[in-house]
């Protein structure tokens, strides 16, 4: 999904920077306040950031000027919400652009918007809705991570379509073409990411369920039910 350096023409790379910057700035404010009020969240932040970095570095060739890979942002969105996850995504994307030639600095705004804002926002809303509906916790995590991944790639397809509309059919035809190519690799990759995220969440819950309860990520009742089933 990382759009390569220099691939987006003017004015699109500037537009995505302008849209992403306020969200990231507010995310920095939220993160600083959370750390100040709850230092025990620091290890979880580190785990969520590392999860994004590792999964989003596993790239496969896809659309010209971009690639396919898991995003890993569903985990951060579930635990910290989309604002703070956008900051984690910026850190990962900058590192990958500079040291791994994965993505780019001029396309950073577009990549942050798709992977660090749109995807996490969808994942967060799906997780909250699924949890309120009484769906099993791990199934909620799976759906949130999977749909966050798909949302990221749909937004990337839209970004490419807006920048490179088809000669016949315009933006819509171009969006269909980009989305179809992404789907070949991304549909199965997203399902795998959902399963891996659910397993990682289960591990975190077993270690620090107290922190997740205080952060309102899970309820005490849900934790109790899971422990009863495990027993």
Cβ atoms of 155 and 3 within 8 Å: the answer is: no
The answer to whether the peptide bond before residue 11 is cis (omega within 30 degrees of 0) is: yes
Q: Structure tokens of 87? A: 């900051």
Give the pLDDT confidence score for residue 63 in this predicted structure: 66
Cβ atoms within 10 Å, residue 53: 18
**Of the candidates 84, 20, 4, which has an alpha carbon nearest to the alpha carbon of residue 52?**
84
Number of neighbouring beta carbons within 10 Å of residue 37: 8
User: Using CA atoms, how far apart are residues 123 and 117, in angstroms rounded to an integer?
Assistant: 10
Please name the residue that has the structure tokens 């769906």: 135
> In this predicted model, what pLDDT tens digit does every residue of 124-171 receive, in sequence order?
999 999 999 989 999 999 999 999 999 999 999 999 999 999 999 999
> Which tens digits make up the pLDDT trace of 1-53?
789 899 999 999 999 999 999 999 999 999 999 999 999 999 999 999 999 99
- Helix then strand count (H, E) for the chain reads 9, 2
User: Given the structure tokens 């995310």, which residue do they identify?
Assistant: 27
């Amino acid at each position: 999904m990382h759009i390569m350096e220099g691939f987006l023409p003017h004015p699109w790379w500037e537009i995505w920077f302008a849209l992403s910057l306020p969200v990231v700035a507010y995310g920095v404010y939220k993160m600083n306040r959370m750390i100040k009020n709850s230092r025990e969240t620091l290890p979880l932040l580190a785990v969520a950031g590392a999860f994004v970095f590792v999964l989003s570095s596993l790239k496969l060739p896809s659309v010209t000027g971009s690639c396919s890979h898991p995003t890993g942002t569903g985990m951060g969105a579930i635990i910290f919400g989309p604002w703070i996850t956008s900051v984690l995504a910026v850190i990962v994307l900058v590192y990958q652009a500079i040291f791994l030639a994965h993505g780019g600095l001029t396309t950073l705004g577009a990549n942050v918007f798709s992977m660090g804002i749109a995807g996490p926002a969808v994942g967060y809303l799906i997780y909250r809705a699924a949890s309120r509906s009484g769906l099993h916790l791990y199934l909620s995590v799976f759906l949130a991570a999977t749909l966050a991944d798909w949302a990221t790639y749909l937004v990337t397809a839209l970004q490419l379509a807006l920048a490179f509309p088809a000669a016949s059919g315009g933006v819509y035809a171009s969006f269909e073409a980009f989305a179809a190519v992404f789907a070949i690799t991304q549909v199965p990759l997203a399902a795998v990411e959902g399963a891996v995220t659910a397993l990682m969440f289960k591990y975190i819950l077993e270690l620090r369920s107290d922190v997740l309860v205080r952060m309102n990520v899970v309820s005490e009742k849900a934790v109790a039910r899971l422990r009863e089933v495990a027993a």
